[in-house]
Amino acid sequence: GAVVSQHPSWVICKSGTSVKIECRSLDFQATTMFWYRQFPKQSLMLMATSNEGSKATYEQGVEKDKFLINHASLTLSTLTVTSAHPEDSSFYICSAGGNQPQHFGDGTRLSIL
Amino acid sequence: AQSVTQPDIHITVSEGASLELRCNYSYGATPYLFWYVQSPGQGLQLLLKYFSGDTLVQGIKGFEAEFKRSQSSFNLRKPSVHWSDAAEYFCAVAPTGGGNKLTFGTGTQLKVEL
């Protein structure tokens, strides 16, 4: 079946650095991918919709300059957390799929020290 | 705006007992409906979905869910819970008219007692 791969699964970095997270659709093409953020013991909150070949659409309250999204190919979307700070520590999950249901990656645990 | 409510934050059941997780939604029309399961530190796995047709849908791992339009509900059930079912369960909705955005409920943490 369709698989979405997310990398890295876990990253720890110092405050002020930038971190890139990749989301790949392994056996299908995805013109649209989604990025979610999940705080401990909470639900998934949609951050942005990644559109292949065009700008991402961000949800209200999400800083586009803080969370840079690039969807340069039909199988890859990247989320870059720029100048990361401890409050950006969270679990980030991507999903992809032309139609429902969406297929989810295994998530990236980001810890900023 | 659409919303999804999962009234139970935590549920504890004994292994072998039956399970029902509640989900209610608020939407202008009948949306697509989903149940996902998440193990700690993992992504989401789709258990089942409802698009249209038979209101009782079967999913993986012995789960089923029933769509009740009159109650705007999509409750998840399993007749006999296994210890491996302990996880976080999320109900989600998506618009039928197009667009793939999912709106998630707050989740229900299931604990299984041996």
Question: What type of residue is B87?
Answer: A
Instruction: Tell me the nearest-neighbour CA distance from B67 into chain A, angstroms.
Output: 17
User: B34–A49: do the CB atoms touch at under 8 Å?
Assistant: no
Is it the case that residue A79 has pLDDT exceeding 90?
yes
Which amino acid makes up residue A87?
A: E
Are the Cβ atoms of B100 and A46 closer than 8 angstroms? no
Residue B53 has pLDDT above 70, yes or no: yes
- pLDDT surpasses 90 at A24: yes
So what's the pLDDT on residue B98?
58
| Contacts of B84 by beta carbon, 8 Å cutoff, 6+ apart | none
The Cα of B5 is separated from the nearest Cα of chain A by a number of Å equal to: 11
Q: How confident is the model at residue A1 (pLDDT cuts 50, 70, 90)?
A: low
**CA gap A66, A99 in Å, rounded:** 29
How high is the mean pLDDT of chain A? 91
**Res A72: pLDDT:** 83
Chain B interface includes A42 (CB < 8 A): yes
Nearest beta carbon to residue A100 from set B100, B107, B109 = B100
Average pLDDT (B38-46) is: 88
Q: How confident is the model over A45-71, as a mean pLDDT?
A: 93
What is the maximum alpha-carbon separation in chain A?
39
Cβ proximity of A34 and A49 under 8 Å: yes
Question: What mean pLDDT is predicted for residues A75-89?
Answer: 95
Residue with the two structure tokens 């110092």: A14
Q: Which of B32, B41, B104 sits opposite A44 (nearest CB)?
A: B104
